[in-house]
Amino acid sequence: MNFNCSKNNSGLTERLEKALTDNRIFHAYIFEGRGNTDKVEFARSFIKGVLCPKNLGENCGQCNICDKIDHNNHEDIIYVEKEGLSVKDDAIKDIQEKLNIKALGDRNIVVISDSDTMTLRAQNRLLKTLEEPPGNSILILLAENMENLSQTILSRCVKYRIEGDKPRNFSEKARNLIEMMQDGAPVYEMNKYIEEYMKDRDKTLQLMDEIENVYINIITGKQEGASQYKFEDIYEKIQLIEEARKQTHQGMSASYALKNLILKMSL
Ligand SMILES: [Zn+2]
């Protein structure tokens, strides 16, 4: 089965393929992927695996059905996106109405992008559909951070995490930035050093992830020169990163959150 995603996911895609060929299809999935992982593309590959008439767990990418899925015009697939900052209650209402209409093929499939931005009302409404999914329908929730979804939603979905490609320059940037901090470089200099990355939200978030990775590698001893760091300082910094990430999920611009983070970490 073909998945359009980073090679880092070979374990995951094998498991998904096996699940489909064994006919173990659930009615609700969460695909979580940070930063610039193309979650919609991943969902499409999975849906083709379900709907492609060739064989369950195969997605030929050439038949009429695969073609429709690739071009977003398959009649039984409903795509939902956020409106402004969140996926709203009305969008979920709309899904429920559409799910009441019988699918042309075997089943209706719903793909909710940025599902982790759903308002509380929207989440509560969706819960009813997750509890009693109509027909053979499948709901796919795409999320950057599934922890933002309520426990009751999480407990009703099968959860997978998609890994993105990690370009080498990101970890280099992150390591250099941390070294600059250690050397007491002025904040404006560090901001300048990562200026290029700050123009893009995904890159900013990925850089944040990488900074955290470097600290985690220091703690676990995977990073050289770990002895010059105090563990309690590092734990504190990791907490600051978590906080910054949370702020971005609450609507703060990623570049502002990162600048703020650098300032706090340099104190
Ligand atoms: Zn096909």
Q: What is the mean pLDDT of the chain?
A: 90
**Side chain identity at 79, as an amino acid letter?**
Y
Question: In whole angstroms, what is the distance from residue 230 CA to residue 239 CA?
Answer: 15
User: Does residue 154 carry a pLDDT above 70?
Assistant: yes
CA of 14 to the centre of ligand 1 (A): 18
Question: In whole angstroms, what is the distance from residue 59 CA to residue 65 CA?
Answer: 10
pLDDT at 167: 64
CA of 50 to the centre of ligand 1 (A): 10
CA of 37 to the centre of ligand 1 (A): 23
For residue 206, which of 194, 218, 217 has the smallest C-alpha distance?
194
CA of 56 to the centre of ligand 1 (A): 10
Yes or no: say if 164 and 9 are a contact pair by the CB < 8 Å rule: no
Q: List the structure tokens of 18.
A: 């096996």
Q: Are strands 158-162 and 28-33 parallel, antiparallel or unpaired?
A: parallel
CA of 51 to the centre of ligand 1 (A): 8
Yes or no: say if 38 and 46 are a contact pair by the CB < 8 Å rule: no
Ion ligand 1, residue ranges at CB < 5 A: 52, 60, 63, 66
Q: Report pLDDT digits (tens) over 113-148.
A: 999 999 999 999 999 999 999 989 999 999 998 889
CA of 79 to the centre of ligand 1 (A): 20
pLDDT at 226: 66
CA of 60 to the centre of ligand 1 (A): 4
Mean of pLDDT values over 10-16: 89
Question: In whole angstroms, what is the distance from residue 162 CA to residue 205 CA?
Answer: 16
For residue 40, which of 111, 128, 120 has the smallest C-alpha distance?
111
CA of 136 to the centre of ligand 1 (A): 19
CA of 96 to the centre of ligand 1 (A): 27
Mean of pLDDT values over 184-192: 91
CA of 72 to the centre of ligand 1 (A): 14
CA of 48 to the centre of ligand 1 (A): 6
Question: In whole angstroms, what is the distance from residue 27 CA to residue 80 CA?
Answer: 17
Q: In what order do the strands lie in the sheet with 158-162?
A: 77-80, 109-112, 138-143, 28-33, 158-162
CA of 201 to the centre of ligand 1 (A): 34
Q: Report pLDDT digits (tens) over 193-204.
A: 898 888 888 889
Mean of pLDDT values over 62-77: 95
